Structure 1
Amino acid sequence: MTAEPSALASKGRTPTVIRVLVLATFVVILNETIMINAIPRLMADLEVTERAAQWVSTAFMLTMAAVIPTTGWFLQRVTTRQAYTAAMAVFLAGTALSAVAPSFVVLLLGRIIQAGGTAVMMPLLMTTLMTVVPEHDRGRVMGNVTLAISVAPALGPVLSGVVLQVGSWRWLFVLVLPIAAVITWLGLRRLEDIGEPQAGVIDTASVALAALGFGGLVFGLSRFESGDFTSPALMIAAGSAFIAVFVFRQLRLQRTGTPLLDLRVLQSATYAKALVLMSVAFMAMLGSMILLPLYLQNLRGLSPLQTGLLVMPGGLAMGLLGPTVGRLFDRFGGRVLVVPGSIGIAMALAGFTRISMTMPYWQLLALHVLLMVSLAATFTPVFTLGLGALPQQLYSHGSSMLGTLQQVAAAFGTALVVTVMSTRSTTLLAEGADSVAADLDGMRLAFLISAGLALIMVAMAMLLPSRTATAEAVADHEAAAPELLES
């Protein structure tokens, strides 16, 4: 999928292809977190244990982690319309199957199919954006993309809380189905193919290694929530070993064939720094998404709907600020946004270390809004700087690696906060502390660790350039791209 950023985009207007892909990506990514509040209903309706019911979210995340590494290769081999059609058709099939699932096994299968379609959409959106939008206008357009890739996961639990107040868990799929179908139809009417697909044979060994490696790593990290540390540690070790073999094979294929995931994207220092910064940012966001509901529901006694409404302003602020952040990036560059944004993230997480049974809700709301606004100020510039530092031929692979590490970072962030919280709480309980006091102290420590990690973001932000290059340097970079790919 290669093309010049030409007639498809004009300054001040978002190309139709991007509008359609943003809308579709929002709908499919929303489903990654939409089942979080439905666990009790599934346990009662389908007669499964809590650990089994958790698989409706875990399986989705595992499938994403296993499939996304293949999308860089896939997007270079098909047209834009073919990739969109395949992704949305698979997503629709999984949604329909989940809605009518007669048993938990069928529901789980439907969620896996859903995730297979979702895994293609974000890399497709990011690759197409970088291809059709000129460098001087990417920040503004990328700001709109923030709504899909960042706000959708945050709004999933809110929307599911509202739906579950009045209906069955099946309505979480029934309501999505016609919306996704209309978006699919609209996309097939309006989408244009971007560039020409390239010929190439997929390396099946790399596919297997990616699935076992990234899937095993994410699965091991997700199992830390169970409190059993031995089995997850073994899974993480096995997943890491498969990833090491996967990396070795890709390096060899870069010399002798076509790699599944081109690791030459890491030769760009700006992209590598952006990758680290984005991974820590997603850890912070997902960690807070786990800790805050536990605090508000288990300790403060709020319902899932009340919890969702409390955190909704932060998610909305993040989405609404996306276009503004993008325009500021186009005008002033990335550092003036990323540095304050990363500092804001650290400050918000540090503020959450002060949680108590009497902390006013307006303070919690203010801290959460600060966190979301700071993430908004960070995501758009970092995405744009990181991918913009790559030659055009590597956009799809850069998007694929970014999406893969987002899944790993989300799993790692969740495992980290849950492990820290539960370990601290268990230690205090053994020492005779009150259960509420022990849980609060565990959560405070988890937020403190997250705030400490956020300092890594501040360091990376200081090292990022304000812009990837001037227009002349971009032209020189693209002219030199063939030599980079042949080296």
Structure 2
Amino acid sequence: MNTPTSTAAPNSLKLGNVKRLPILISLIIGAFFSLLNETLLSVAFPQLMIELNVSASTLQWLTTGYMLVVAVLIPASALLVQWFTTRQVFLGAMIVFTLGTLISGMAPGFSVLLIGRLLQAGGTGLMMPVLMNTILLLYPPEKRGAAMGSIGLVIMFAPAIGPTLSGVILESLEWRWLFYVVIPFALFSIIFAFIYLKNVSQPTKPKVDVVSIILSTIGFGGIVYGFSSSGEGWDSPQVYGVILVGFAALLLFVLRQLKLKDPLLDLRAFKYPLFTFTTILLCIMMMTMFSTMSLLPFLFQGALGLTVYASGLIMLPGSILNGLLSPLTGKAFDRFGPRALIIPGAVILAVVMWFFTQVTAETSKMTFIILHVCMMVSISMIMMPAQTNGLNQLPRRYYPHGTAILNTLSQVAGAIGVAFFISIMTAGQRSYLEKSSDPAAPVELTEAMVSGVQNAFLFGFIFALLALAVALFTKRSQPPTE
């Protein structure tokens, strides 16, 4: 089925005289600080509960609301990058993010802080699709690996150092400085982009389908909200009811996209097999990665008795190495192709996840550091090379839709993964304590935590084996003839 001209991706400008590096730097600076803020606040929750006088469930909206806005906005990004220029979307996103950061820092109470966080999420939700779409237009397929590797540094490194950086700031300053320290860098990003960021596309302004936007909002927003609320119990109507409504709306959304001439998300991108395999692989990887990053702090603080700051330090070396390796794996992708990276990376991930199923309260901190480093290395070998390879197979008109699809499903998979694995951990803890002769004893509580985490990592190992099976189908994609 041919896609009409109005649904084409933004027309590429003549890029022969465009300096790519300043554009890439402009985008990376903005993306880095917007993604950093995803995890910068979590360590401050105990302090915020006291100062703002709110419960943990209320405060959780600072995270849940953030994820909701990002999940809702990313599908619409495919439309926005066809209605506005690169400069307009990026500068608009950064201005909204900066305004949200300022409001959050000056917030007199929880309600205003939540508004600021939602504005931050609005800027972040538009940032990554714009960044990836610009790279696809700016670099030819044979050079995209290195450029996408630079994006990988931002995607992995920024959120990973958030908790550690937050711990350092909170050692001597109040929580408002978590926002204040970001503002100068955000303003610098806006000024730098205003000077150096050039347009790499021309808007085509396709028809806006309001019904698709509503279904997308209810579908993706409902699923993310439902799974994020699963801590209240899966038998809660607030959980399973919202999830069912979300999936029903998502089904209607998919059926509508396949019928429209100008879809909000053109799902015909899935007719390209390598893009489809990439989507499956990335969803599995996001579930595994986000769940592991959530499980380890529970183990460190609940079983090993470590502080939040110490937990962040254990996970910091792997996160830093992952960020540093992403540009290198991108260059290796350009030279050797995807199989040389993705398949060995999937093997390493499977081995590491098996070792995680064997950890105990006596496992040394150095062992955890080594396992986490190996896991993050494997992720750097898989994530961006797979994403680049899958997007390379798409024709130019599918670039906005492909990037929006991958970013949306990654957010949804991450939310589902965290909820699923934490529920497995909780069930394992409960099962252990039910069999215990003294369930209130500190030693038994520690062993219950270890048992629950081991059960969760067992499922992580199964997911890693599934990722390896999908990785075996990987091959270098051939750019389509337009």
User: Which category describes the TM-score, using the shorter chain as reference length?
Assistant: over 0.9
Deviates most, 148-157 or 74-83: 148-157
Residue 136 of structure 1: aligned partner: 142
Residues of 2 paired with 1:7 and 1:303: CA distance? 53
Kept in 1: contact 2:83–2:206 (CA 8 A)? yes
1:285 correspondence with 2:305: no
1:266 correspondence with 2:244: no
1:417 correspondence with 2:451: no
2:249 to 242, 265, 271: 242
Kept in 1: contact 2:219–2:248 (CA 8 A)? yes
Residue 360 of structure 2: aligned partner: 356
1:457 to 467, 470, 479: 467
Deviation at 1:400, TM superposition (A): 0.5
1:224 correspondence with 2:211: no
Residue 7 of structure 1: aligned partner: 16
Kept in 1: contact 2:302–2:446 (CA 8 A)? no
Kept in 2: contact 1:345–1:374 (CA 8 A)? yes
What are the ranges of 5 or more consecutive residues in structure 2 without an aligned counterpart?
1-9
Residues of 2 paired with 1:75 and 1:87: CA distance? 12
Structure 1, residues 186-230: CA drift from partner, whole Å, max 9, x if none? 011101111211123321111111111101000111111233533
Residues of 2 paired with 1:229 and 1:41: CA distance? 31
Residues of 2 paired with 1:126 and 1:119: CA distance? 12
Kept in 2: contact 1:5–1:133 (CA 8 A)? no
Count of matched residue pairs: 466
Deviation at 1:36, TM superposition (A): 1.4
Question: Aligned runs of 1:300-311 on 2, under 5 Å?
Answer: 300-311=304-315
Residues of 2 paired with 1:401 and 1:441: CA distance? 36
Question: Aligned runs of 1:357-396 on 2, under 5 Å?
Answer: 357-396=361-400
Q: CA RMSD in A?
A: 1.4
Deviates most, 105-114 or 220-229: 220-229
Kept in 2: contact 1:275–1:402 (CA 8 A)? yes
1:16 correspondence with 2:22: yes
Residue 210 of structure 1: aligned partner: 216
Residue 4 of structure 2: aligned partner: none
Residue 482 of structure 1: aligned partner: none
SS at match of 1:260: coil
Amino acid across the alignment from 2:46: P
Residues of 1 paired with 2:377 and 2:13: CA distance? 33
2:52 to 46, 69, 73: 46
SS at match of 1:82: helix
Kept in 1: contact 2:291–2:417 (CA 8 A)? yes
Shift >3 Å, 4+ stretches: none
Residue 5 of structure 2: aligned partner: none
Residue 195 of structure 1: aligned partner: 201
Deviation at 1:2, TM superposition (A): 2.6
1:251 correspondence with 2:258: yes
2:86 to 80, 84, 93: 80
Structure 1, residues 455-479: CA drift from partner, whole Å, max 9, x if none? 11111111011x211xxxx3xx232
SS at match of 1:166: coil
Residues of 1 paired with 2:58 and 2:452: CA distance? 26
Identical positions, percent:
37
Residue 485 of structure 1: aligned partner: none
2:32 to 26, 42, 48: 26
Amino acid across the alignment from 1:202: V
Kept in 2: contact 1:75–1:83 (CA 8 A)? yes
Structure 1, residues 390-444: CA drift from partner, whole Å, max 9, x if none? 1011111111111101110110110111100101111221222522211110000
2:98 to 83, 92, 97: 92
Structure 1, residues 88-139: CA drift from partner, whole Å, max 9, x if none? 1110111111111111111111111110110111000100001110111111
Residue 447 of structure 1: aligned partner: 457
What are the ranges of 5 or more consecutive residues in structure 1 without an aligned counterpart?
480-487
Deviation at 1:270, TM superposition (A): 0.4
Residue 484 of structure 1: aligned partner: none
2:481 to 473, 478, 481: 478
Amino acid across the alignment from 2:54: V
TM-score by length of 2: 0.94
Structure 1, residues 276-333: CA drift from partner, whole Å, max 9, x if none? 1111111111111111111111221111111111111001100111111111111110
Shift of the 45–32 alpha-carbon distance from structure 1 to 2, 3 Å rule, reads same
Residue 298 of structure 1: aligned partner: 302
TM-score by length of 1: 0.93
Kept in 2: contact 1:224–1:418 (CA 8 A)? no
